[in-house]
Structure 1
Amino acid sequence: MTRRIDLNADMGEGYGRWRIGNDGALLKVVTSANIACGMHAGDPDVMADTMASAVAAGVGLGAHPGFPDLQGFGRRRMHLPESGLRNLIRYQLGAAGAMARGAGGRLRHFKLHGALSNMASESADLARICFETALDTDPGLVILVLPRTAMEAAVRGLGCDWAGEIFADRAYNDDATLIDRALSGAMIRDPVQAAANMVAMAGEQAIICASGQRLPCRIDTICVHGDTPESLRIATAVRHGLEAAGFEVAPL
């Protein structure tokens, strides 16, 4: 039986005349796109263009909300009251949904960005607030989570449709969280290494930590960060590696 897995990338992260990443080329490789919603990156024109390109390429659309932090690219932690956090999610998801419809598509999934994602992986309460608000806004969404973290506890508690996500270009701590970007070895930049890691993890259905420890979990989708110089080479290598190992790479 053919095993199936999704390959996603963060994109739509430019702003005005500034472009980040190689979205056009990535859309020929990945099967799902996590599109910035204008707070950590992106603007109305960038969102519209990215949505339209993804729809034309047959790539699944996802909202990728983060903290209102253009200067820090959403990677600086913020502490908001619950009402403010819920409104932040609604605001970004509403924009993403409208842009998706304008491009002739619809949102399929929801994925937190940057520091907001890291904080949700540590706090089930924060994750529940974000996910619950997203589902209240659009009940049909698949929630992408970091498996074996507080995010998984939150979606299991909500009883919603979810997908376990791992990262091709990041290394893991022994608690299934991502190693801080400021630390040596946090980023995986070699496409060959990234592909081998993803084939092994997807095949074993386990996160393989930097220490070598294996954490069994549900793995449905693999992410490549679109803002890194190696993103296209890594995505291409990962897809080729998965297909050679017998996986069908397909949208969620």
Structure 2
Amino acid sequence: MPSIDLNSDLGEGFGAWTAGDDRAVLDVVSSANIACGAHAGDPVIMLDTCRAAADRGVAVGAHVAYRDLAGFGRRPVSVTPDELYADVVHQLGALTAAARVAGTAVTFVKPHGALYNTACADPVQAEAVVRAVADVDPTLAILALPGSELLLAAAQNGLRAVSEAFADRAYEPDGSLVPRGRPGAVLHDPEQVAARVLRMVTDGVATAVDGSEVRVAAESVCVHGDSPDAVATAQAIRALLTAHGVGIASFAGATAS
């Protein structure tokens, strides 16, 4: 049976503030990108989310970001490569410890928000992120857009480069994501998104905002956990893929229960 990984950004609360229904999403996805305290997440949330993922056999990834709690990590931050390197090392260390205590392990890294967008396009930032990951644990995979500077740097540094597609984000004709500030950048209809993902997985294409076809080659598909439609969307995707004979399994080896 062919299979695809479903990943979601989770653990994105802070203190008394929560974002999304993480446990319901964890019941559906196969990989969890857990916030490491820079854009969201705190020690209690990180450990709790790792435990919930471990209980469900969901693979754990580090969702590293610029230090920007107020902006949820979606604002560009001016940092030197050495500062970014240290930030990523710090965040990886924190989540690695939480995962170990929870009885699981970090198996991959996926940058968040502005860091994701910048490092996918900027070879200097990409190299800083990947160098930090490689120095902490060279067995970790890097999850990012196909053809990005992040995946190129991962391959050059001997790390596994895993390409992903986005279920609920609109694409530009060149395969990049439509910026969140533009209308239609985020898709909200669960059935429409599920049909889109099925086409990505089975045909390797998605329709861009201008109506053109974009090639999509991905080992993983992201469903954003902070969206109000996250649970319904993830459930619709899994149901439709399963109905068409596509299994849900993490590229890291763990399988969702």
Q: TM-score, normalised by structure 1?
A: 0.96
For the 8 Å contact 2:61–2:110, the answer to whether it is kept is yes
Q: Check if 1:90 corresponds to 2:89.
A: yes
Amino acid at match of 2:102: A
1:123 to partner: Cα distance: 1.2
Letter of the 1:165 counterpart: E
| Counterpart residue number, 2:41 | 42
Label 1:91 to 1:67 Cα distance change in 2 as closer, same or farther (>3 A): same
Instruction: Give secondary structure in 2 for the equivalent of 1:62.
Output: strand
Take 1:205 and 1:125, find their aligned partners in 2: how far apart are those partners? 30
Kindly report which structure 2 residues correspond to 1:84-233, keeping only aligned pairs within 5 A, or say none. Answer: 84-233=83-232
Q: Does the aligned pair in 1 maintain the 2:138–2:158 contact within 8 Å?
A: no
How many residues align structurally? 251
User: 1:39–1:70: 8 Å Cα contact kept in structure 2?
Assistant: yes
Q: Identity of counterpart residues, as a percentage?
A: 41
Which amino acid is 2:140 matched to?
L
Residue 31 and residue 117 in structure 1: after superposition, are their counterparts in 2 closer, same or farther (change >3 A)?
same
Partner deviation per Cα, 1:44-85 (whole Å, 9 max, x = no partner): 000000000110011110100111111110000011011100
Tell me by how many angstroms 1:132 deviates: 2.2
The corresponding residue for 2:55 is 56
SS of equivalent to 2:32? strand
Question: Structure 1 residue 156: deviation in Å?
Answer: 3.2
Partner amino acid for 1:229? P
Letter in 2 for 1:132: R
Residues 8 and 33 in structure 2, CA contact (< 8 A), matched pair in contact too: yes
Which residues of structure 2 form unaligned runs of 5+?
252-257
Q: After the TM superposition, which of the residue ranges 126-135 and 179-188 deviates more from structure 2?
A: 126-135
Q: How does 1:74-89 map to 2 (within 5 A)?
A: 74-89=73-88
**Following TM superposition, by how much is the alpha carbon of 1:240 offset from its aligned partner in structure 2, in angstroms?**
1.1
Q: Deviations over 1:149-185 (max 9, x none)?
A: 3333323333421211111110011222110111011
Match of 2:255 in 1: none
What is the TM-score normalised by the length of structure 2? Answer: 0.94
Contact 1:148 1:176 in 2 (8 A): no
Give the corresponding residue for 1:236.
235
Residues 27 and 52 of structure 1: is their aligned pair in 2 closer, same or farther, counting only changes over 3 Å? same
Q: CA deviation at 1:236?
A: 0.6
CA distance, structure 1, for counterparts of residue 152 and residue 213 of structure 2: 19
Tell me the secondary structure at the aligned position of residue 227 of structure 2.
coil
1:181-235: CA deviations, max 9, x gaps?
A: 1101101000011001111111122444222333334310111111110000111
- Structure 1 contact 171–210 (Cα < 8 Å) conserved: yes
Structure 1 regions of 5+ residues with no counterpart? none
